[in-house]
Structure 1
């Protein structure tokens, strides 16, 4: 077996991760000259330059980035295997997750995870967009794109959107539609799309990456366009649109996980009308080569159980 200088590999990983020779030296408790020596030794062995150096700035070359992806994964597997054999595996897991999913669904449930699996040390990496599946980013992910061949995927939720407003705003809608004399509750007759368009529509741009794309999809579900007379207020994120609805500013389209846990979800009323499937499916993703790691599998099973228990996913 022909191996590179093994002492140089943790040094290379630290420099690549921290983007600094001095920071790597501090983390590893060695001198900066020792770091430089180990990197030079590794570059000589490989016959490739691994870093671009510009003053104090350090960036990976294309070859260095490719090597880092492979080496960081291998070193992590060695660490995990050693901890497991020694009997004190810590199960440190970094999970990259959409900000809305984290804030409205995952974070409120973390106390249950900690009580059930106290050995699991979970660190959350918030993402406003779909994360790049790479161990440089996290150990596992919540993603809507199950397309990277090196990863395995567990379905958690198929997104649907439905209109909601605040309790106070719902009473206003009932008054303006002349429904005060009708019984309120499950037996209430549906609200038509035409009636909904009479009130301000709070739109989330990021769902379909276009202005009013969410409301266009909702009206299209019944074969109608958004009425030209409709007043649409635009927001970049569903969290913002939902907060505007909470403060009686109109009707927002939201999904199941946004209202699944928070106690203040009782502030909202789901309007008696149709919903629309967006086409987005949420998956828990982990690298297939790490499928036997205890921490990842504990987290996977817990997420699935919570998704089933909370109604996001069927049995």
Structure 2
């Protein structure tokens, strides 16, 4: 058996959370202790190592060189320990903590969860939704599904599927001629270039855009289905609403402004459960 020094596990866990959160206050919230307790554990670890681990700046905590050496090792080790404990406690299940952009979650993944669980009984999915802004490590996730170009700093991204966008609306508006597009409210997301780019693809001038701006395609779809305007939406995520007749597609033109991606921190290997989910989703969409 290899001899090991007295390893301060509680202090190391506190250090990993504080380094990941970038704040003693947020670390205290995650650990459900006081900020003073976090400070005490960090001071204990610094005394044991004989080095400083954090520098306070106006922008927040900054890791020292010593902390940057320790942090990735601790993060990887604690993640591995958590997965092993989850497998034991959960009847040998591999737990995958997955963040999912809400449109993909409600429009595709959640309706098919029972099928995934049937096909992969050894994987337990723990889902949380986000609005396309997610910090995987800081939020304690293993991976995240998001929409965009696939270029995010510090992230490795693998494509799941393309997401061509087209206007969808309530059935009462479904006979709208393309030349009368400007006579109806065009519901807007926070991406200001979506309607101009779709209009360019359709070969029509883009009318003036007014009204509220929403950061959720699901909310846009609900407004459109209620007859409050026309929403530019990712077609694959609203097939169920189209099949049910809640929304209709008045025009054939589409524009691709991004895809859905499975993302993981670039300094980590993709967990086997995430790779299984990726392959399963691709096969289902294929």
Same fold per TM (> 0.5)? yes
**Alignment map for 1:85-164 (pairs within 5 Å):** 89-134=92-137, 136-143=139-146, 144-147=148-151, 151-164=155-168
RMSD, aligned CA: 3.9
- 1:205 CA displacement: 2.5
2:7 equivalent in structure 1: 5
Contact persistence 2:143–2:264 (CA under 8 A): yes
2:61 equivalent in structure 1: 61
Q: Residue 247 of structure 2: which of 268, 273, 281 is its match?
A: 268
Distance 2:159 2:16 in 1: 32
Detail structure 1 runs of 4+ shifted over 6 Å in the superposition: 1-4, 15-18, 82-87
1:77 equivalent in structure 2: 80
Over residues 15-52 of structure 1, what are the superposed CA-to-partner deviations in whole Å (9 max), with x where a residue is unaligned? Answer: 666622995569xxxxx97x776533311205114487
Q: TM-score, normalised by structure 2?
A: 0.74
Return 37-46 or 113-122, whichever deviates more: 37-46
Q: Residue 225 of structure 1: which of 198, 201, 205 is its match?
A: 205
Q: Residue 227 of structure 2: which of 248, 253, 276 is its match?
A: 248
- 1:165 CA displacement: 1.8
Return 101-110 or 149-158, whichever deviates more: 149-158
Contact persistence 1:155–1:284 (CA under 8 A): yes
**Alignment map for 1:158-307 (pairs within 5 Å):** 158-170=162-174, 173=176, 191=177, 193-198=178-183, 200-206=184-190, 208=191, 210=192, 213-227=193-207, 232-236=210-214, 237-262=216-241, 265-278=244-257, 280-287=258-265, 291=269, 293-307=271-285
- 1:96 CA displacement: 1.5
Distance 1:252 1:148 in 2: 26
Return 8-17 or 97-106, whichever deviates more: 8-17
Larger radius of gyration: 1
Aligned pair 1:19/2:33, yes or no? no
Contact persistence 1:286–1:296 (CA under 8 A): no
Please list every run of 5 or more consecutive structure 1 residues that lacks an aligned counterpart in the other structure: 27-31, 53-59, 174-190, 309-315
- 1:266 CA displacement: 2.4
Alpha-carbon distance change, 41 to 63 in structure 1, aligned in 2, over 3 angstroms = same
Return 84-93 or 111-120, whichever deviates more: 84-93
Distance 1:226 1:268 in 2: 22
Q: TM-score, normalised by structure 1?
A: 0.68
Paired residue secondary structure (1:61): strand
Distance 2:7 2:92 in 1: 27
Distance 1:21 1:242 in 2: 35
Alpha-carbon distance change, 257 to 130 in structure 1, aligned in 2, over 3 angstroms = farther
Alpha-carbon distance change, 85 to 13 in structure 1, aligned in 2, over 3 angstroms = same
- 1:304 CA displacement: 1.9
Q: How many residues align?
A: 269
